[in-house]
Amino acid sequence: MSQPNQAERDAARRWQQQHPGTSYQDALKKVRARHRAQASTPDSGEDHDHIGFTVAAAMADEQSSGRVRTPVAAAVTILHGIEGARMLSQMVATSGPEVTCMLCDKTVHGSPVVNIGLVLRAVTQGSEEAEASMPVFTHPACAPARCWSWSQLTAERHRRRMPVDPADLLPRPARRKPRQEDWYAWPITRSDQPQALFYLQPGDPHPHGDLGFRADRLTDGLPTYNPRDPQPTPGWRIVTRGGRIVRIQHQLWGDLYTLPEPADPGTPGWIAAARTTGTVHFITAPAYTINLTPGQTVFDFNNALRRDVLFGAVMELVEEGAR
């Protein structure tokens, strides 16, 4: 067995905590087997953007009800809390054959492992458009525990030759070389204290629009950005090398995004704020959401907050190699 990386070691220790009596080596084998299975799951490769974790199930919270293990997508706990995750897990454990996998339409009843995720769909309430979320149950061989937009889920079912409503299929964008993500860094003020902000901008619009972007970020376990919360979000960190930003990382789940080239924020105000607080406000939004022209940025940020497409958190700033 090859040497485990830090994310695998942490995941194996979590497995031991959730399954008392399991040895570390057995837990590590289980974790690696899950990752291999999820990594080999067929994927069109065109329905997600280029930010995010490789293996969605790596950040699922493991629940257990009776004899059924239910990895629960991070999106479930973000949107519905721990209690919501437990209720869905219990629902799977007590269900009959009527509960089916959303990708193969076969029952999940009797399966030792059932992944629990969400699908987001735009609905109309009166004259207003709102978002509804519904649980998605899948076999581990069909899909990891993740969050989908309705069009992402429809596209995956269509790819598998399962019946879909043609009206729910989005036209495929023309194939072309994807544009590289870009980043911006500037100092801000929160509670009269200078803070450092780092904005990651996707190079292209998400192939499934705002809902697709939301689904992917919720799958990553990244919350919508709360500008009023100054506290670092546990587990998340921005990693630097020689003072330059190289990646966005979660201590348990691995690298969310690695920059093609180390990013040097450069401005003395940003560097001073980051060093003083030891944190950075990391944010991201769909491509072209934020216009960085002076005078327009604040309006666009507030608009993105209202649309629930501004994701991010206050993250710990650490130098590469630090524990």
118 found inside a domain: yes
Say how many domains are in the chain: 3
174 found inside a domain: no
**CA 305 to chain CA mean position, Å:** 18
114 and 66 both lie in a single domain: yes
> Low-confidence residues of the chain, pLDDT below 50?
1, 35-45, 55-59
Helix (H, G, I), strand (E, B) or coil at 304: helix
Per-state percent for the chain, helix, strand, coil, to nearest 5: 30, 30, 40
175 found inside a domain: no
128 and 144 both lie in a single domain: yes
Q: What is the DSSP string of 68-131?
A: EEEEE-HHHHHHHHHHHHHHHHHHHHH--TT-B-TTT--B-TT-SB-EEEEEEEEEEETTEEEE
Distance CA 226, CA 310 (A): 9
**Residue 46 dihedral angles phi and psi, to the nearest 5°:** -120, 0
For residue 253, give Cα distances in angstroms to 35, 40, 214, 263, 308.
11, 18, 19, 22, 24
Structure confidence at residue 237 (pLDDT): 94
164 and 71 both lie in a single domain: yes
262 and 302 both lie in a single domain: yes
User: Domain span at residue 29?
Assistant: 1-40
176 found inside a domain: no
Structure confidence at residue 37 (pLDDT): 46
Structure confidence at residue 66 (pLDDT): 60
**Residue 205 dihedral angles phi and psi, to the nearest 5°:** -60, 150
Of 168, 190, 222, which marks where a domain is finished?
168
From start to end of the chain, where are the E strands?
61-65, 68-72, 115-125, 128-138, 147-149, 182-190, 193-201, 236-241, 244-250, 254-263, 279-284, 311-319
12 and 63 both lie in a single domain: no
**CA 50 to chain CA mean position, Å:** 12
User: Residue 300 in contact with residue 289, Cβ under 8 Å?
Assistant: yes
Q: What are 69-99's pLDDT values in tens digits?
A: 899 999 999 999 999 999 999 998 888 888 9
300 and 215 both lie in a single domain: yes
Structure confidence at residue 115 (pLDDT): 93
Of 145, 168, 191, which marks where a domain is finished?
168
pTM: 0.80
10 found inside a domain: yes
3 and 95 both lie in a single domain: no
User: Which two tokens mark 198?
Assistant: 């780092």
Helix (H, G, I), strand (E, B) or coil at 290: coil
Structure confidence at residue 176 (pLDDT): 74
